[in-house]
Structure 1
Amino acid sequence: MRRILIVGAGQAGLQLALGLQSNGYDVTVMTNRTADEIRDGRVMSTQCMFDTALQHERDLGINFWEQEAPRIEGLGVSVTGPESARVIDWVGRLNGYAQSVDQRIKMSGWLETFAERGGQVVVHGVAVSDLDYFARTYDLVLVAAGKGELVSMFGRDASRSPYDTPQRALAVSYVHGLGPRPEHDFKAVRCNLVPGVGELFIMPTLTTSGPGDILFWEGVPGGPLDVFGDVKDPAEHLRLTLDLMKTFTPWEYDRTRAGVELTDAGGTLAGRYAPVVRNPVGELPGGGLVLGVADVVVANDPITGQGSNNAAKCAAVYLEAILEHGDKAFDRDFMQAAFDRYWDAAQHVTKWTNAMLAPPPEHVLNLIGAAGQLPPVADRFANGFDNAADFEHWFYEPEKAAAYLGSVAPQG
């Protein structure tokens, strides 16, 4: 039986561990927190998983919260104009529903399931020196912990990483009490774009205290939204969030008037990081090799909501590659080939995300505006969140955008 070590207990690490376990592999997961510590801790992310990523969980039978989590059936965009008025507002329908499950629920539940099924869980921080030993005792070591010392083993790929500084300051609040958007009777992610300032995303979620919503500000560094860095008090964090909504997205602030409150004391998060693509193979001092997973090797800004989706897709690709590899050695060629298969999809997400961080060119503004008049355009935007490769055909180049709009616009 082949022995595999996975360092990290997030979406990719645990999904891959459970998939390998179900195929008879001897899997160990190393994590720096117990399931209870994860469940009772601070929120770790925003997450909205679209149909393709959700299907990977269904395929493994680990979609434990699908019946409880709100079903997100659309994705809407609003754009702020002068005096904080909406100049664009539309919603597209998703072909398959999306869902958001607080990672505190999912990761603690998956970690417990992995252990109950006989998997070995080691609760301990991991240093590069530890991996030097483990690389000699396991057939394959995968690093799925996207922060800290271990990431330094994976060199930045400058050719795929146009930004070397954070492009947004991030601030998250999980809340109860948010009212519905009156424009539609189904649940949708709402993307509110404030040109030159940042973005406000609102998404329904299932959290530790039941259904709620995530309020997520992405602020241009140094701008009026970049005010959360020194805030330690959760109540002050929420107050700032609501004040900024009142100023820049008053239509969303109207949804808070009945009174919103944080889901729990751990329901806020703030930070920033530079989007980066890294080389997938980490070299250890003793000569061993480790394979980077998900955010370790492709960390996009969350402006397009792709982090957990990428993680699920990476885990699915790596699982397939490992199963196909059989009894052969997990050498550098295997590791590079597994990543290349993942990059086939991830490259489209990275290109799209990096494009959305920059001021939009005129033809993209035309597309966003047209979506308010042409439902097929709105729907195609929405479903691009599930399949970013589709943007290649109509989004990036003015000629393709014009041809597409000409094909869907009413004639005569």
Structure 2
Amino acid sequence: MRTVLVVGAGQSGLQLALGLQDKGYEVTLMSNRTPDEIRSGRVMSTQVMFDTALQHERDLRLNFWEGRAPRIEGLGVSVAAPDGSGRAVDWLGRLRAYAQSVDQRLKMAGWLETFVQRGGRLVVHGASVADLDYLSGTYDLTLVAAGKGELVSMFERDPARSPYDAPQRALAVSYVTGLRPRAEHPGTEAVRCNLVPGVGELFVMPTLTLSGRADILFWEGLPGGPLDVFRGVRDPAEHLALTLELMEKYTPWEYERAAGVELTDSGATLAGRYAPVVRKPVGRLPGGGLVLGVGDVVVTNDPITGQGANAAAKCAASYLSSVLMRGDRPFDEAWMKATFDKYWFTTGKPVTRWTNAMLAPPPEHVLNLIGAAGQLQPVADRFANGFDNPADFDDWFYDPVDAVDYLAEVGAGAGASSAE
């Protein structure tokens, strides 16, 4: 039986630990918090997971909340008019398979308890580099999935894959109850992406939290801009009031359905910022031991494209496959690099390219694509399903010529359908 140490109990670390455990590996998991501490803590993310990532959870029998979480059937985009008169663009793309969001406090606490119930060894301890230096020699493989703190310093920034060296958005999150449905699509659960040019973005998404059905209000503001006002706000009620004030000013169509919303609990707000970065996957310990970075330890993207939890799930699934294929051979540095490369080229690179593109001011052909989606439903649907498979954007989104050709093709198809 091969032994594995997994450090970090987020989406990638826990999913990978449970997957290895399911395949007969002897797994030790280090978490800096107990399940009860996670449940009673502050919200950690704005996760919406699309079908491919959800399937990885189903494959491991970890989809405990699938029957309770809202089934997200679409993804809508609204663009604020420059003169403040309302929406210049507004459309809803249909997903081929539903997405879902489960508050990570609920999910990670439940998964931790499941890991222990299935016979795993849980160590509640905030690991340091010195701890890993001492422990790693007793395991066949050490995986680091804790994306913050001292351990990240072991993984060198990859400048060739990291165009940004500073945060590109200031983030502010509120989990609320009482949000009314959009009047134009009252029966459809959907993620709403509201773009305010020169200011930032507001995302509104259905979720399942500790107390049941809720919605997430998530501002992404340009640093130094009018949305960058949450730093230093500690009181949850003040955080929500500021969120609503900004909604009233910049996205009044969303504000009008938010009258009477309340925070789900005292830990329902979060604010912060971080720089997108890709790191080299192998960390070297002071004693010479090697560790492999997992998930956002090695690929950290801004949440503007909603890929954090999805990429983490796909990374865990990819790494699990690589570990199983290794058999009883050593987990050496060459294998670690090859394992990361497999994940990078299938998932990490397409996600990073798309996310970095969305952080920059959109070029004219992208604006044309977003506008065309309001007239051509296949374009709206392709946008929406790109959240599940970001590699699809390579064929039509980045190059102006590809975009023109794609719109001409879709337009011709729509014209033929109308003629029939």
User: Normalised by the shorter chain, which TM-score bucket?
Assistant: over 0.9
Residue 258 of structure 2 aligns to which amino acid in structure 1?
Answer: T
Distance 1:393 1:328 in 2: 39
1:125-172 per-residue CA deviation (whole Å, 9 max, x = no partner) reads 111011111111110000000000000000000000000000000000
CA–CA distance in structure 2, aligned partners of residues 121 and 275 of structure 1: 30
Shift of 1:84: 4.7
SS, match of residue 171 in structure 1? strand
Q: Deviations over 1:50-86 (max 9, x none)?
A: 0000000001111000000000000000000112510
Q: 2:196 matched to which residue of 1?
A: 194
Tell me the alpha carbon deviations over residues 283-334 of structure 1, each in whole angstroms, 9 at most, x when there is no partner: 1110000000000000000000000000000000000000000001000011
Can you list the C-alpha shifts for 1:183-211, whole angstroms capped at 9, x where unaligned? 21210000000001000000000001100
Q: Is the 8 A contact 1:4 1:27 kept in 2?
A: yes
Partner Cα separation in structure 2 for residue 183 and residue 90 of structure 1? 10
- Residue in 2 that maps onto 1:73: 73
Please list the CA deviations of residues 224-278 of structure 1 after superposition, one character each: whole Å capped at 9, or x if unmatched: 0000011000000000000000000000001112x10000000000000000000
| Alignment map for 1:387-402 (pairs within 5 Å) | 387-402=389-404
Identity between Structure 1 and Structure 2 (%): 74
Q: Which runs of structure 2 are paired with 1:152-167 in the superposition (5 Å)?
A: 152-167=153-168
Letter in 1 for 2:75: L
User: SS of 1:370's equivalent?
Assistant: helix
Aligned letter for 1:199? Answer: E
Give, as a single letter, the amino acid of the residue that structure 1 aligns with 2:11: Q
CA–CA separation in structure 2 for the residues paired with 1:39 and 1:24: 29
Residue in structure 2 matched with residue 269 of structure 1 by the alignment: 270
Q: May I ask how many residue pairs the two structures share in their alignment?
A: 411
Residue matched to 1:48:
48
1:338 is aligned with what amino acid? T
How many angstroms apart in 2 are the aligned matches of 1:125 and 1:206?
28
- 2:177 aligned partner: 176
Q: Which residue of 1 aligns with 2:256?
A: 254
Aligned twin of 1:101: 102
- Which amino acid counterpart does residue 330 of structure 1 have in structure 2? F
Superposed, 1:54-65 pairs within 5 Å as 54-65=54-65
Letter in 2 for 1:2: R
Matches for 1:284-323 after TM superposition, within 5 Å: 284-323=285-324
How far is 1:411 from its partner?
A: 3.8
For the 8 Å contact 1:84–1:250, the answer to whether it is kept is no
Mapping for residues 212-223 of structure 1, pairs under 5 Å: 212-223=214-225
Aligned counterpart, 1:339:
340
Matched with 2:34 is 34
- Write the distance in 2 (CA, Å) between the matches of 1:107 and 1:223: 34
**Is 1:405 matched up with 2:407?**
yes
Residue 281 (structure 1) aligns with: 282
Instruction: Report the Cα distance in structure 1 between the residues aligned to 2:150 and 2:201, rounded to whole angstroms.
Output: 31
**In the alignment, is the contact (CA less than 8 A) between 1:166 and 1:274 conserved in 2?**
yes
User: Which of 362, 365, 379 is 2:364 aligned to?
Assistant: 362
Distance in 2 (CA, whole Å) between partners of 1:83 and 1:159 is 39
Q: Which amino acid aligns with 2:264?
A: T
Partner of 1:11: 11
> Is the contact made by 1:48 and 1:308 (CA closer than 8 Å) also made in structure 2?
yes
Q: Distance in 1 between matches of 2:126 and 2:75?
A: 39
- 8 Å CA contact retained: 1:84, 1:248: no
Structure 1 stretches (4+) deviating beyond 2 angstroms?
A: none
Aligned residue identity for 2:305: T
Matches within 5 A, 1:15-26: 15-26=15-26
8 Å CA contact 1:84–1:247 kept in 2: the answer is no
Q: Are the aligned partners of 1:79 and 1:194 in contact in 2 as well (CA < 8 Å)?
A: yes
Residue in 2 that maps onto 1:353: 355
Q: CA RMSD in A?
A: 0.7
Q: Which runs of 5+ in 2 are unaligned?
A: none
Contact 1:84–1:249 (Cα < 8 Å) also in 2: no
Give the conservation status (yes or no) of the 8 Å contact 1:21–1:119: yes
Q: Compute the TM-score of the two structures, normalised by the length of structure 1.
A: 0.99
Q: One-letter code of the match for 1:152?
A: S
What's the counterpart of residue 237 of structure 2? 235
Q: Which residue of 2 aligns with 1:386?
A: 388
